[in-house]
Structure 1
Amino acid sequence: MTMSINTGLVSGMDTGTMVNQLIQLEAAPQNALKSRLSTTQVTASAYRTVNSALAALATAAEALAKPESWTSTKGSSSAGSVTVATTSSATPGSLTFTVAKLATTAASVSTGRWATTTEPAGLATLDFLSTVDGSSKGSVALDGTESLEQVATKINATAGLGVVASTVQIAPGQFALQLSAATSGAAAGFELAAGSPFSATGVGQDAELKVGTDTATTSSYTIRSASNTFDGVLTGASFTVTREESTPVTVSVAADPDGLATKVSGFVDSINNALQTIRTYTENTPGSKAALRGEYAVTSIGGQLLDAVISAVGTLGSAAQIGIQSTRDGAIVFDKEKFSAAIKASPDLAQRLVGGTGTAGDPGAVTGIAGRIRDVAKVASDVTTGTLSSMAKGQDSLVRDIQDRIATWDLRLAKRKEMLTRQFTAMETALSSLNNQSNWLAGQLGSLSQ
């Protein structure tokens, strides 16, 4: 309920303005709370921004601390028709072969044609046989009343059949039923029992690679795959063939120093991002308006990250040997050329310096740079126990408390304004009454003098 206020017609005072000014004076504590609320919200956001950078760093460090991250390999092929893909478990190796066959998919089409796909097709029960050994793959019961669409639906719904059916338009007003094996390869091949109104349009065939040649001094062997992708022929690698090749093709899996360098470079970028974020939010130079200006709990994390990088790793020495070191302004630099040279000179040195040696818990295990960075970042950013997470939650709690106090002040000031409005209204009413009495007395005195 809003109370109207007398504007001072009797007293001549602007009582409405006076009430608003009094309320503004009394609202000073609330305004201070609002200013504090804004600062607290900015602080909470700053903690979370730093926390996000450290959480990302912890993830990057965790990945680089795993041994499989250091088995970086790349595949290559001497022919454009063969592509190679590797996984983290791939090991160096090579294989030379010719592509004798490509994998194909068995298929058949109905010999009959229909004007529509919805009229009764007149097909009897279909018996599917394996082209490998003639054994039954399954049957689809039909009574002739089903349309082509219904026949296709029944075939596709038959579990274990391994055949996909679809209606195809051969020409305007001519439809047929197409049957295809669900997968390529010889084992998926099928045929229909004798008498069925279908003819084969494709034969299921495995892809074949021929390795070596049969001569007086050498022998050959064949590698088969139901698809055109060969998995596991070389450990941790797969290669896909797209055409037959009578000219020998060589696929190779080799160590990839550049791939390792890219991983380490990305890790260093994550460290620098975390360090820069910390510096930005804790800047303590004169005139700085940083949200966490001079906050030791945060700046100390930056110091721990730097120590984790530049400190020696057991008896191995520092990471400067592999091109990782700090600058005077507290950043981390990565020298790719030095890293590559170190990899060539001692292939496992970088892994031991960054990833550590031994298994966690072993007496002789040494934590590498990645492990040390991970530990520092996790202590700070852990969702439940992280120091930064706890600080952000503390600011959130303070925000809620301040918001509650501001809301209480809203009620208090509203009641105060109502009370002042009533008081000034009462004053104007009293003055009006006195003014009326004065006018009446003046009138009475005036009548006595006549």
Structure 2
Amino acid sequence: MNSSITRLTGFASGLDTDSIVKKLMNAESIPLNKLKQNQQKQTWLSDAYRQWNTDLLAFRSNTLFNMNLSKTYNTFTVTSSQENSVSASTSGSSLAGTYSVAVKQLASSAAFTGSKVPLDPTKTLGNTVQGSAQLTADTSITMDVYNDPKNPSAFQSMTIDIKTTDTINDVVSKINNAKDSNGKSLSVQAFYDPTLQQFILKTKETGAATKIDLSKNTSAASQAFLSNTLGLDTTNLVASGQNANIIFNGNEITNLAANNTTIMGINFTFKSTTVDANGNVMPSTVTVSQNPDEVIKNIKDFVDKYNSLLEKLNNAVQEPIYRDYLPLLDEQRSEMSEKQIEMWEVKAKSGLLRSDSILTDIANKMRNAMTSIVDNGSPYYSLASIGISSKSYQDKGKLYVDEAKLREAIQTDPNAVEKLFSQLGDTSKGTNGVIKQISNVLQDGIKKLTNKAGYTGNSQYDQSVIGKILSNMQTDITRQTEKLSRKESQYYRQFASMEQAISKFNSQSSWLYQQMGGGM
């Protein structure tokens, strides 16, 4: 405690006033120190609750969310007899089976490919080194681009100025960055390859709806630029794209604007035609089969994460309490090393959540959900029925997976296994799957934890239960600190008065002594 008054420290009495006041204040500070220690404990408790809030939310948002996805249970192996022509992947809604897929024609973009024109990209087009491709005067070209399958007659138009001081790379850049009057990109790609000595212009998209129209360039200058510099055939200045043409299980499909599509829940990618040198269509055989190994892996991963969370909950509510290890005060910290402080606080924080009602309730309800019966219309109506169960009550709810039994269930009735986990219904009627039941448990637990201690990232002095406790404690600490400061000042004033009285007494005694001839 600090005092603003002048302190007279034993000049008359010879007493160590500071030492005496310090001891008196140590006794006076006991209630404040206890309050500070309790405040620290409540702060640790708030941190612990908030961390659990974060952990449970992460488990619910990630692990449980993934276990609700159809793709977790509908896993497949896909093979193609012509992988270089047709490849495929599956989604959660894919149908197992064998499919015949022939590619008669790939989807393509609208494109121009010029004939060979030797250009030096480092030289301007007006430079004589460009030979017959030299640009003798500034010109411009107009480009109309059609790229809307829903409105085939709609197009974007742009006029591009070409100067003799431009290089071929400048022209390419102008085309690639071209925008129409509304500021919208033309979505075309231009390229000049100096090795091939070819200029290429194409739409970014594919399909029959794509088209590049250069036919408005009728002037001699623009025609010369297109022909001599870019190597384009000016007798045909309209290029159109085309749709893919495939035959799926005997059904011809001609309206695919891209070289990928989804049929029967299977994502197909077409890489080349399946037509041989004689023009015969050679279908690729695509086989989609269930892959129980992947489903088993997904379920085992979930069980492992569930076990880890449950073990963490069990440890928290059973953690030992070390009552002799109270939160350290600032004076105590100053006398200890960082390692000693760290070791002390491990013991001081231990058991903060021992027998905690919120975490105990979450753990119990999670165990109940994992042993519940789900009305899914199948003999595989519980985790135990598919080989997932505890071995002993001593496991405290830990689950083990009988892989052989789980595999048998997946192969016999994969739909029932999926419903057992992810079915949405009514928990009170036994129609909610295991994942939904646990999700509800965690949602309720997260709500209680939030009411108790708030969210991570928020001020600890929020409107939660512990937040209000901490606010009240801080008010009490401020009040008691001010009270102790006044008390300390009072002690020093009292000692100062005593010192003055002793000094006065000593002076009077000395005077009397002298008057009585003490000095003779």
Q: Distance in 2 between matches of 1:355 and 1:153?
A: 49
- Indicate yes or no: 2:379 matched with 1:324: no
Out of 188, 191, 194, the residue aligned to residue 164 of structure 1 is 188
1:411/1:192 Cα in 2 relative to 1: closer, same or farther (>3 Å)? same
1:145/1:23 Cα in 2 relative to 1: closer, same or farther (>3 Å)? same
Match of 2:400 in 1: 333
Q: Which moved more, 1:366-375 or 1:91-100?
A: 91-100
Q: Distance in 1 between matches of 2:508 and 2:386?
A: 101
Q: Distance in 2 between matches of 1:124 and 1:253?
A: 54
Q: Tell me which amino acid in the other structure corresponds to 2:78.
A: G
| Cα contact 1:100–1:209 (8 A) shared by 2 | yes
- Indicate yes or no: 2:415 matched with 1:380: no
- Indicate yes or no: 2:106 matched with 1:45: no
Partner deviation per Cα, 1:77-99 (whole Å, 9 max, x = no partner): 33443442322222224433355
Out of 367, 381, 386, the residue aligned to residue 306 of structure 1 is 367
Partner deviation per Cα, 1:355-387 (whole Å, 9 max, x = no partner): 34xx63699762232232222222212xxxx22
Q: How many residues align?
A: 432
Specify which structure has the higher proportion of strand. 1
| Cα contact 1:184–1:204 (8 A) shared by 2 | no
Out of 206, 209, 224, the residue aligned to residue 184 of structure 1 is 206
Q: Distance in 1 between matches of 2:404 and 2:426?
A: 34
Shift of 1:203: 6.4
1:421/1:271 Cα in 2 relative to 1: closer, same or farther (>3 Å)? same
Match of 2:92 in 1: 88
Match of 2:81 in 1: 78
Shift of 1:275: 1.3
Q: Which moved more, 1:14-23 or 1:259-268?
A: 259-268
Q: Tell me which amino acid in the other structure corresponds to 2:372.
A: S
| Cα contact 1:97–1:211 (8 A) shared by 2 | yes
| Cα contact 1:72–1:260 (8 A) shared by 2 | yes
Q: Which moved more, 1:104-113 or 1:254-263?
A: 104-113
1:64/1:157 Cα in 2 relative to 1: closer, same or farther (>3 Å)? same
TM-score using structure 2 length: 0.69
| Cα contact 2:208–2:243 (8 A) shared by 1 | no
Q: Distance in 2 between matches of 1:327 and 1:11?
A: 79
Q: Tell me which amino acid in the other structure corresponds to 1:156.
A: K
| Cα contact 2:75–2:295 (8 A) shared by 1 | yes
Partner deviation per Cα, 1:287-312 (whole Å, 9 max, x = no partner): 69322112244323212221221233
Partner deviation per Cα, 1:95-137 (whole Å, 9 max, x = no partner): 33355555444445898988459999822351436699x9784
Out of 113, 123, 127, the residue aligned to residue 139 of structure 2 is 123
> What is the DSSP-based 3-state SS (H/G/I as helix, E as strand, rest coil) of the residue aligned with 1:348?
helix
- Indicate yes or no: 2:39 matched with 1:17: no
Match of 1:237 in 2: 266
Q: Distance in 2 between matches of 1:364 and 1:371?
A: 13
| Cα contact 2:88–2:268 (8 A) shared by 1 | yes
TM-score using structure 1 length: 0.78
| Cα contact 1:182–1:188 (8 A) shared by 2 | no
Shift of 1:341: 0.9
1:113/1:9 Cα in 2 relative to 1: closer, same or farther (>3 Å)? same
Shift of 1:26: 0.8
RMSD: 4.3
Q: Distance in 1 between matches of 2:83 and 2:506?
A: 108
Q: Distance in 1 between matches of 2:317 and 2:69?
A: 33
1:224/1:430 Cα in 2 relative to 1: closer, same or farther (>3 Å)? same
> What is the DSSP-based 3-state SS (H/G/I as helix, E as strand, rest coil) of the residue aligned with 2:316?
helix
Stretches of structure 1 that go unaligned for 5 or more consecutive residues are: 213-217
Match of 1:215 in 2: none
Q: Distance in 2 between matches of 1:200 and 1:225?
A: 29
Match of 2:495 in 1: 424
